[in-house]
């Protein structure tokens, strides 16, 4: 198979890592350093900027490592699906991993994921992660807690129970290319990453969950205006503690907040709903999309619209702008250049 980066080498790099990024160079630096600290060294890193500013160009130029490539898109797509599809197209590795630009890997993430994939005979694996839930105000930083993701059912991906964020995924590159590309978030009721993961499962590929905590998610959606500041101190806090991984894992698990116990009738009702959702999954309907649409009342694209608002970003770029809208955009850009 060939792509714009040339032929896929039979004896080439083992893992291609794809990072989608947009104008958070200080945070991106921590993610890249967590890649450089991996104890599995046979990788290439493809950082895909969603039309980033010069600050990201400057950061990427500071990393002198032939394994790192930077691609800055000419047009802004507004979320990770577009950059991730570009990364897949340019990947030369036999396996592909993803890392969100505001997340961090433990030093043994790639090695653990690769070992588990090969030992289990799976087509892809989902690592355990700690999603760090931040308080809305920086002065409440000490009140953070964690929520786990990457939990399977009998060690396998389950469309009802498994939340597998992009930063937890490692899969064969042939699988990533066999499944249709990531759908734009504007076309999803929940998230493009979970919709894509469900389609991998629906195609019959074997996805296993890794019983080892190797990922930290520091989601930008938990902090209002997160894209407006130069940095967030929580990244420095957790990145520094990656030097002591066991102690950090214990800290993350100690801060795990258990879900409250529900009344019996609610648990029974949930079980009944799950029976229906499981049947729907086997008919090809993603449970996460059904819940978002019919239980939470979401519309297509509403999740990414809300996230962009929290982050301090404008609405998604129009897919089919009118002539007047294009002229207004070019006028703004001309003013910025002037």
Concatenated DSSP letters of 213-239: EEEEE--GGGSTTTTTSS--HHHHHHH
Q: Which of 12-16, 179-183, 306-310 has the lowest mean pLDDT?
A: 306-310
Q: Which of 15-24, 79-88, 158-167, 217-226 has the lowest mean pLDDT?
A: 217-226
What was the pLDDT predicted at 4? 35
CB 114 within 8 A of CB 123: no
CB 44 within 8 A of CB 125: no
| 45-68 b/e (C-beta count within 10 Å ≥ 16 → b) | bbbbbbbbeeebeebbeebeeeeb
Of 280 and 268, the one with more pLDDT? 280
Q: Is 243 helix (H, G, I), strand (E, B) or coil?
A: coil
**Local confidence band at 158 (pLDDT 50, 70, 90 cut-offs):** very high
What was the pLDDT predicted at 8? 40
Residue-wise pLDDT tens digits, 32-42: 999 999 999 99
Using the predicted structure, report yes or no on whether residue 63 has a pLDDT greater than 90. yes
What was the pLDDT predicted at 3? 34
Q: Which two tokens stand for residue 260?
A: 């409250």
- CATH homologous superfamily, domain 2-311: Spore Coat Polysaccharide Biosynthesis Protein SpsA; Chain A (3.90.550.10)
pLDDT over 90 percentage in the chain: 75
Phi, psi torsion values for 232, nearest 5 degrees = -125, 130
Residue-wise pLDDT tens digits, 214-242: 999 997 776 788 888 776 788 999 999 99
Across the strands, what pairs with 124? 171, 207
What was the pLDDT predicted at 11? 65
Using the predicted structure, report yes or no on whether residue 6 has a pLDDT greater than 50. no
């Amino acid at each position: 198979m060939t792509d714009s980066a040339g032929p896929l080498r039979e004896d080439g790099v083992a893992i291609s890592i794809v990072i989608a990024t947009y104008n958070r160079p200080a945070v991106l630096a921590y993610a890249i350093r967590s890649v450089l600290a991996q104890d599995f060294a046979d990788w290439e890193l493809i950082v895909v900027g969603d039309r980033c500013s010069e600050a990201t160009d400057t950061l990427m130029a500071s990393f002198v490592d032939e394994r790192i490539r930077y691609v800055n898109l000419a047009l802004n797509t507004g979320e990770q699906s577009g950059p991730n599809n570009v990364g897949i197209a340019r990947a030369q590795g036999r396996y592909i991993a993803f890392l969100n630009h505001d997340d961090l890997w433990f030093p043994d993430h790639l090695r653990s994921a690769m070992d588990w994939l090969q030992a289990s005979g799976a087509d892809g694996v989902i690592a355990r992660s700690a999603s760090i839930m931040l308080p809305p105000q920086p002065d409440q930083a000490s009140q953070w807690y964690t929520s786990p993701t990457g939990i399977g059912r009998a060690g396998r991906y389950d469309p009802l129970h498994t939340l597998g964020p992009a930063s937890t995924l490692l899969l064969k590159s042939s699988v990533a290319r066999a499944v249709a590309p990531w759908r734009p978030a504007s076309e999803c009721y929940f998230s493009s990453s979970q919709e894509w993961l469900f389609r991998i499962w629906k195609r019959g590929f074997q996805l296993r969950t890794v019983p080892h905590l190797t990922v930290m998610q520091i989601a930008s959606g938990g902090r209002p205006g997160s894209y407006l500041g130069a940095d967030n101190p929580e990244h420095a806090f957790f990145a520094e503690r990656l030097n002591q991984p066991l102690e950090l894992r214990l800290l993350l698990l100690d801060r795990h907040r258990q879900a409250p116990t529900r009344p019996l009738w609610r648990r029974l009702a949930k079980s009944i709903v799950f029976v229906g959702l499981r049947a729907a999954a086997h008919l090809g309907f993603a449970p996460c999309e059904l819940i978002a649409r019919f239980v939470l009342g979401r519309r297509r694209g509403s999740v990414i619209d809300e996230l962009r608002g929290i982050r301090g970003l404008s609405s998604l770029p129009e897919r089919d702008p009118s002539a007047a809208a294009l002229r207004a955009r070019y006028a703004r850009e001309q003013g910025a250049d002037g």
